[in-house]
Amino acid sequence: MLLRVLYSAASAILLMPIVLVSLHVAGAQVMTSTNYQIRSDSINAAGGLSSSTNYSIESTVGEIGTGEQSSASYKLKAGYQQMQEIYIAISAASSSLTLSPSIPGVTGGTSNGSTSVTVKTDNLAGYELTIKASTNPALQKGADAISDYAPSGASPDYIFTTAAADAHFGYSPEGTDVVQRFLDDGASCNIGAGNTAASCWDGLSTTAVPIASTATANHPAGTATVVRFRVGLGGAVAQAPGVYTATTTLTALPL
């Protein structure tokens, strides 16, 4: 098998698709139970929800001390109708990614690529960044596929290991907000506080998996997370040549 940039009869290509953004507005919780939470409450004399065919209005009567106040460093929106506004944004260095170099079918080898994703939020509780694949396995070409990387244990593998009979596709996140699962102690993953480059490899899933998280706001600078991708083919693998693609979704949510 040959892994190359362009389509050809004996080549394969990995494309990372457009990074999708999922936004969710959240605020401070004042009351919670097992099944419900009230993020904004109001003690007032009257009001409620009114609607027509084209419009709806939520009103309160009798609240005091409401309105917007601000200073050089802070902004206060007091009262039920002011609500809490959360800003969150996600951006990627590229919407597509091509792995390189080409992998000769005779000897096998690895092909690599990476992209950087930046999340910005003013949410005081922070954010969570997740990744998931659209298919299982993630990397496919028609009826042919390359398996998702399977770590040797419950935690990611510190070293991306490819045996002679292996053909697999994995990923590894890096950055200051990377979750504990992908941190290391210099030899193993999901232990310690290190974030060694090109270490702690896992396989993609169709279920969203957290890769970065923080419990504080990071606006306006934002925080970047680098996601590395790698294909490994052993020399004894009879993988069908062609163009292989994978579609992933990165989602940022306020906590």
Range 216-224 average pLDDT? 92
Q: What is the CATH number of the domain that holds 213?
A: 2.60.40
Same-domain pairing of 118 and 242: yes
Q: How many domains does the chain have?
A: 2
Residue-wise pLDDT for 161-214, tens only, equals: 999 999 999 999 999 999 999 999 999 999 999 999 999 999 999 999 999 999
Range 96-118 average pLDDT? 84
Residue located via tokens 């106040």: 69
- Looking at 78, 101, 135, which one is the last position of a domain? 78
Would you state the pLDDT for residue 3? 26
Would you state the pLDDT for residue 206? 95
Is the pLDDT at 21 greater than 80, yes or no?
no
Same-domain pairing of 233 and 108: yes
Same-domain pairing of 57 and 157: no
**Nearest alpha-carbon partner for 17 in 127, 100, 140:** 140
Domain that holds residue 109: 88-254
Same-domain pairing of 73 and 144: no
Enter the pTM of the model. Answer: 0.72
- Looking at 78, 100, 117, which one is the last position of a domain? 78
Residue-wise pLDDT for 31-85, tens only, equals: 667 776 665 666 666 777 778 888 777 777 777 666 777 788 777 777 666 656 6
CA–CA separation, 164 and 30 (whole Å): 57
In a domain, 227, yes or no: yes
CA–CA separation, 220 and 217 (whole Å): 9
CA–CA separation, 156 and 29 (whole Å): 34
Same-domain pairing of 115 and 74: no
Ranking 138-142, 212-216, 237-241, 251-255 by mean pLDDT, the lowest is 237-241
